[in-house]
Amino acid sequence: MERKRKHRVEALIGSWSFFVFWMFLFGIIGILVADWFTVASWWIWLIGGMAFIGAVAETIRFTAMKRGKRKRLESLIGSWSFFLFFVLLFYVIGIEVAGWWTYDAWWVWLILGLLFMGTISTTIRFFVYRHEVIQPVPKTTTIQTPKPIQPEKRPKYCQSCGSKVEGTEKFCANCGAPVE
């Protein structure tokens, strides 16, 4: 268990470190300080935005991972990451930074709207089923069957002579008559 947590911590630190390094090197130094690039250098924003989305997804995974909810959580993170990537690509880079298309490009809004609806439905499904916990199956199960009820042992008496008959004898020890 400790090993898994260590890997999750390393993934969290690594994703945020990559994002900060990228934005520091290319965003701050490359654009603001050294003038290597311009603000319209769309590929800087694309890779930086993808690194940010990955870091946020890793943060959500790290803080919200609970037993029995892993698949739903990964579905939620995946849908939001997918949506944010296309917002980054089509809106931020395509319209705002690179100017590949204008605000009048209806198909951009159609794609983003459809992706947003899918993301919202995944989010609703995650929160509706949040209390449903999958119980782990115990490794060893023992089923105890109830013991059959034993009839009361009443003493038997010989019907011929009336003497007491012991145990499972088939004949009376006193008179030899068969015992029923």
> By residue range, what is the domain housing residue 34?
2-128
Question: Does the residue 145 lie in any domain?
Answer: no
Same domain, 36 and 75: yes
Question: Does the residue 65 lie in any domain?
Answer: yes
Same domain, 108 and 46: yes
Question: Does the residue 137 lie in any domain?
Answer: no
The reported pLDDT for the residue numbered 22 is 83
Question: Does the residue 47 lie in any domain?
Answer: yes
d(CA 180, CA 163): 13
Beta bridge partner(s), residue 165: 156
Question: Does the residue 138 lie in any domain?
Answer: no
The reported pLDDT for the residue numbered 108 is 85
Beta bridge partner(s), residue 171: 178
The reported pLDDT for the residue numbered 137 is 58
Same domain, 40 and 83: yes
Tokens in use for 33?
Answer: 């300080």
Could you tell me where the DSSP H helices lie in the chain? 2-22, 42-64, 70-86, 106-128
The reported pLDDT for the residue numbered 69 is 63
Domain tally, the chain = 2
Indicate the residue among 95, 111, 128 that finishes a domain. 128
Same domain, 51 and 94: yes
CA distance to 41, 73, 100, per residue, from 44 (Å): 6, 29, 16
Query: How do the pLDDT tens digits run along the chain, 180 residues long?
Result: 577 777 777 877 888 888 888 888 888 888 888 888 888 788 888 888 888 888 888 877 777 665 556 667 777 888 888 888 888 888 888 888 888 888 888 888 888 888 888 888 888 877 777 665 555 556 666 677 777 776 666 777 788 888 888 777 778 888 888 877
Same domain, 119 and 162: no
Question: Does the residue 163 lie in any domain?
Answer: yes
Indicate the residue among 113, 128, 143 that finishes a domain. 128
Same domain, 124 and 164: no
Residue with tokens 């969290």: 12
d(CA 180, CA 175): 14
Question: Does the residue 139 lie in any domain?
Answer: no
Indicate the residue among 128, 145, 161 that finishes a domain. 128
